[in-house]
Structure 1
């Protein structure tokens, strides 16, 4: 019996182009797209901010130094909020899942600036019973530690949890703990898979 469903945030609950919009609109004094992508998406520093090894100030100071800008943390928060939109189809499924008496969960590699900015705008955390943030457990997917936190905080057995992710390594890690995990391949596929677990959705 499924008692909890885990939803991804970037590219699922929030539209696929939201973060791309943020990167495109972020002030920068460089045209080096590889550098921009590295600093905002792929650097060790962004990973460390998601694990709270770096504080918000430390990470954004790094960004400012690399991209040659003086944009304040407050301005960055506003830019994040302005760049993001929810996917109404996913929001609807989250609410329907909850109405079935199934716990709704998020398990996300994320950083406080983004979560706080989007919560202020959308109040999206109100839709989720269980909220696992990498910066709170000091581990990012695919580290099994973050999935163990999901199991513990949902108060469910692993085989009572459904989890989808667009990265195979994350799915394999979740499966290794016994979670019903599968690759996210678009909303329609996700909904079909979800309905195979929750027949009345």
Structure 2
């Protein structure tokens, strides 16, 4: 019987674009190379950037992250200016709030995200849907990122449920496989309608009788 539904944050609850960050930072670069947003995208996001992973695992502070980005790209920018560019990239997916309200009545709902301190502090203030979840499991607090099985186990332990009593939803196939590796029912997110149908079928199947 399903007791817990775990949602990813980025692209599932809130859509976002890293390209918005790249464009914003490029406008403040004093280095010709990094006045091209594509170069910042490649350096920060397209090549498995170690600095992003370290920040999302809480292994470096927000201050150190800002200093590294500022120096790497030759940015003439204040911290408040950087914070605005870094954070204002999100948009709530249409219909997701209604989905959360619908399933919150009968199931524990957790949010499990590879995220960082700046982003999460921002979205929990700006998007009320974030505060409708029963618990948050965040990579920068846990010190580990998806798809490592350990982060899913943290969520199970917090909820006091078994893997087969849980559903996990994520837009990245690698993360879905990570959850499946410990026996969690998992599905790759394509749309709110697709997930609504999946949850209706899966939770109905799990009901006794």
Shorter-chain TM-score category?
0.7 to 0.9
1:7 paired residue number:
7
Q: Matches of 1:192 and 1:108 in 2, distance apart?
A: 23
Tell me which structure has the larger Cα radius of gyration.
Answer: 2
1:161 aligns with 2:166: yes
- What is the aligned counterpart of 1:173 among 178, 185, 191? 178
1:31 aligns with 2:35: yes
Q: Is the partner of 2:147 in helix, strand or coil?
A: coil
- How many residues are paired up? 198
Q: Which blocks of at least 5 consecutive residues in structure 1 are unaligned?
A: none
Q: Kindly tell me: are residues 59 and 2 of structure 1, through their superposed partners in 2, closer, same or farther at Cα, counting changes over 3 Å?
A: same
- Bigger mean CA deviation after superposition, 51-60 or 82-91: 82-91
Q: Is the partner of 1:142 in helix, strand or coil?
A: coil
Q: Matches of 1:23 and 1:12 in 2, distance apart?
A: 22
Q: Kindly tell me: are residues 91 and 20 of structure 1, through their superposed partners in 2, closer, same or farther at Cα, counting changes over 3 Å?
A: farther
1:65 paired residue number:
71
Q: Matches of 1:20 and 1:106 in 2, distance apart?
A: 24
TM-score, scaled relative to structure 2: 0.85
TM-score, scaled relative to structure 1: 0.88
8 Å Cα contact 1:80-1:117 kept in structure 2: no
Aligned Cα RMSD in Å? 2.1
8 Å Cα contact 1:78-1:117 kept in structure 2: no
Q: Is the partner of 2:77 in helix, strand or coil?
A: coil
1:144 deviates by 1.0
Q: Is the partner of 2:88 in helix, strand or coil?
A: helix
Q: Matches of 1:53 and 1:82 in 2, distance apart?
A: 23
Q: Matches of 2:181 and 2:102 in 1, distance apart?
A: 28
1:85 paired residue number:
91
Q: Which blocks of at least 5 consecutive residues in structure 2 are unaligned?
A: none
Q: Kindly tell me: are residues 121 and 77 of structure 1, through their superposed partners in 2, closer, same or farther at Cα, counting changes over 3 Å?
A: farther
1:1-201 mapped onto 2 (5 Å cutoff): 1-15=1-15, 17-26=16-25, 27-29=27-29, 30-41=34-45, 42-99=48-105, 101-199=106-204
1:80 deviates by 4.3
